[in-house]
Structure 1
Amino acid sequence: MSVRRLAEDNVQPATFAFNRENSAWAKLAIKKYPKGREQSAVIPLLMRAQEQDGWVTKAAIEHVAEMLDMPMIRVLEVATFYTQFQLKPVGTRAHIQVCGTTPCMLRGSEDLKKVCQSKIHHEQFHLNESGTLSWEEVECLGACVNAPMIMVFKDTYEDLTPERLEEIIDAFEAGNGASVPVGPQIDRHFSAPQGLPTSLIDTAATAKSGRGSKAASATSQVPPSNASKPVTHDDATNPAIKTPSPVKAAKGGEAATSKPAPTASSAARMIKNPPLAEGSLGEKPDVQTIKAPAKAASLTDNNRPAGIEKPAIVDDLKLIAGVGPKIEGILHDLGIFTYAQVAAWKKAEREWVDNYLNFKGRIERDDWVKQAKALAKGGEAEYIKVFGKKPR
């Protein structure tokens, strides 16, 4: 690991203090820890200081040490150990972190670094001429299937090409970074496969039409792992040498080593009539049904929340956890523009929106209504008061 030091004194500010909002947040963060363990809040407080000023200053380290009654050297040790803390000034509009770990490297991160070198600065951690941009190479950012990717502050931008990264850098340089959609930069839903699914597509219909016969035939030719010789056509029809039933093997005390792969037609029957759990010997298992897919939400359904005309002032729905730019756009299309609208949703309306977005219960899990009520009542300050953290 390279040595990490604080920035030179000539760029260090003389003092630091949390603003009113962050000060309230810091006090709530400290209270989360047991009495006598308040110093455990050192990392959250340093992160909040970095979010406020863009980087961790010496004055911020001293301020956090005073708040937590810690020796300054201990807070300095934390700040210099974790590479998430920026110890020198970074771009005021964007500090770009380029993932260089193996999946991203294999998918083109070297070309992304060349873009940063040409458009920002040849060296990492150096500002561009206007002081608005900087960059660095980092380890895994956690979305390997969407490689290559970058992170700007807390947002990730995935499935990048050099050309797309140039466009993103230009947008941040122009002060329009908020207009860039986060996440995949191609036609991909989160980390889902690109294009249409290629497997497990309506197995029953596939078996009926015969489209899956080749795959089913191939799997049926694979011998079980406990077979002493390859299974021939005659072997398969000879009841004397058939593979023992897994249930009988378990009953006799012998572990069943494998099961033959199901054909397409047998897979269809399993979906319609799920098998009993192994070892149950005919007893009714706890779970023996497969839920049918939820019926698609209809725009004419009476449970659809009432929309309104777009008001002059539109609330930032992205402050609700679970709402990104794409989801916010869909809500706008439904006529949902304000926190008050979301806060007033009844259960049936929440279920309709959840079904429409195919969220599988996420609206309830993230408690959109409670979040919206806090934001409608007092904005970010009320949200921090209710949830103990800043929205998003």
Structure 2
Amino acid sequence: MKHRYILIPIFTILAIGSTKGQIVIGTDKEPEKFCIVEVESKKGGIRLPRIPDTNKNNMITTHSLTSNPESAGLVIYNSTNNIIEFWDGNKWVALSNKISGANGLTDTNGKELWLGGKLDDNTTVQLNNNELKIQHNPAAKFIINDTMVVVNNKIVDIRVAREFMVNDTVISIKGKYVDMRPAILSINNNTFSMNESGRTRMTGTFQYTDGTQDQGHLLTANNKGDAYWGALRPLGTVKSTSINNNKGFASSTVQVSDGMLELPAGQWLIFAKFNSNMNASLTGMYHWILLSSKTPSQSSYTTISRAGANPEKKTAGTGIKSYATPFILHYVNIKEKTQYIIQAGTSNAGNSATVSETWIGNSYFYALRIDIPTD
């Protein structure tokens, strides 16, 4: 049996080549000017080589893709991940409409990434001397953990040595400026510490409630600085010394206080009294009590206040001694440590002396501080 072979001329092939080196597959139309290879079909497409992920990566070394500049543009279908990839000259690049969010970003619909989500690793945003500003309207909430700051939901807790600024709320910790724009700052994390020097100022009303607040109570503190509400009472520090009850004096002044009373800077009320007697009561004669002071820069005492009392007999008759009880109440507002003494004197050089007589009260010399001590 004879076999016949028919040779089909090459020009009958469906691939039509132009004189410019262009090729059309699937039709005999002229290729578009912008195409080198053009495929026309309404029934099928082009099937790229299907290469598993492992083989795709092996091609980098097997075919020296990185060192061959002509390799850029190579296209395959990754059969492991079911995506098209192309080689850009350095790495494989996936062509996909699938977007996944990670490390603080969230995939919303497969096409968009939204800010918001959990961090999957330690993350640093390097500002590079540029400003990072978070700005919102007054009604918005702003929360940061683990610094941690919560503005409208009350928790404010700045970890040690952290710098933190928020605008337009506004908070600046190491820069010392704190100003909550909605004018409400609530703290419910038990401790709020500010270690910066300078002042913390507040305009308006400050309210501190711990269950013990009441009318007539005073917000005070213990020696550790812990604030609490205490009963309102006179603020005072008492310093005292005694009076020598057996000191003679005549027309010249004589110190009758036992030593001196040394007071630190502040506002003080000074109280002093002594009892004295003499053999007779002369008309126009007085026993004087004198308060004298001296600062560290002064070498001697200076009289700052004086009061007198006229001696009078205890009972009528001759040979009866006369008694006096001169006293001083004096206010001072001193700026430095100052020493005080009490002196006695008389307008007549008679036989006068300080005495202890309970029937006219005890002698005393003390000071009561009436401001809030800062020492």
Query: What TM-score comes out, normalization by structure 1 length?
Result: 0.17
Q: Which has the higher contact order (CA 8 A, sep 6+)?
A: 2
Structure with the larger strand share = 2
Q: Choose 1 or 2 for highest CA Rg.
A: 2
Query: What TM-score comes out, normalization by structure 2 length?
Result: 0.17
Structure with the larger helix share = 1
